[in-house]
Structure 1
């Protein structure tokens, strides 16, 4: 019985590892993607600006990673312009994770872009994941509308 528990524990630990697969100059996580036909961040920003809450558009775009979830690597924020970012989650239920040390790297994501009303609680949760200061977290007092993205896969350069 001890061996069964030990083998199960070992299998579980190994299955939690999220190693990316090499794809050209990139490493792929989640659904395997190609780098071709990705929109630029500027094109993606224009697309978001034409959307409304409730709209969903399938798309692939390239941008720089500005923030990464420091708890698990379950989300990133990608630049759309110098002041604007989109929140990218990996699948509906954190279906895959990425390394937590990838801020500043180029990424290509493929999935669904949408605009979402974000509650104060959810904003504070993401701020904690990003290891924001207690002052920054306390300053979150109102819901906001934000650009969101559910990625099926991501390529990291």
Structure 2
């Protein structure tokens, strides 16, 4: 009887491991996503939590090439030339597009996206912050509250996939 139980447990462990491996190996289906900018092979995608940890290891001047997936928090309402993506907690990544070579839809807020490009830490001037706030549809009162430069988790994307 003990041998039967041991065999059953071993069988359940093998099946469970195979199911978990299959879930992890779920491949990227490009039919579920609209592509903007350069197409890229989706591999080693960081979550918003993992990406925040990566950002926290960077100093001004450091860059890393990565892919990360998160929800789009905001998009430039004038022409889709930048977006903000959620990171863990209240943090966000400010995403611009390489050489302004492409734009994303103005209504992409709250969509799931995968970005590929260079992550870095930057300091945005008051002038730039006010410009982005205006483009983002903020009120004059909200824009006037911007009075000092801000350290930002920046990202220069060469390609973006947005879930349809």
**TM-score normalised by the chain length of structure 1:** 0.83
8 Å contact from structure 1 (residues 33, 155) kept in 2 = no
SS in 2 for 1:112: strand
Between Structure 1 and Structure 2, how many residues are aligned?
135
**Structure 1: unaligned runs, 5 residues or longer:** 1-21
1:103 & 1:27 partners in 2: Cα distance?
A: 14
1:29 equivalent in structure 2: 36
**TM-score normalised by the chain length of structure 2:** 0.79
From 90, 103, 107, the equivalent of 2:109 is 103
2:162 & 2:71 partners in 1: Cα distance?
A: 10
Runs (4+) of structure 1 moved beyond 6 Å? none
2:159 equivalent in structure 1: 153
1:136 equivalent in structure 2: 142
1:23 & 1:138 partners in 2: Cα distance?
A: 42
Deviations 1:8-55 (A, max 9, x none): xxxxxxxxxxxxxx9221111000124432111110000001111111
Q: Considering only aligned residues, what root-mean-square deviation do their CA atoms show, in Å?
A: 1.2
8 Å contact from structure 1 (residues 23, 34) kept in 2 = no
**Structure 2: unaligned runs, 5 residues or longer:** 1-28
2:126 equivalent in structure 1: 120
Deviates more, 1:75-84 or 1:106-115: 75-84
More helix by share: 2
Deviations 1:66-90 (A, max 9, x none): 0000000011000012311010001
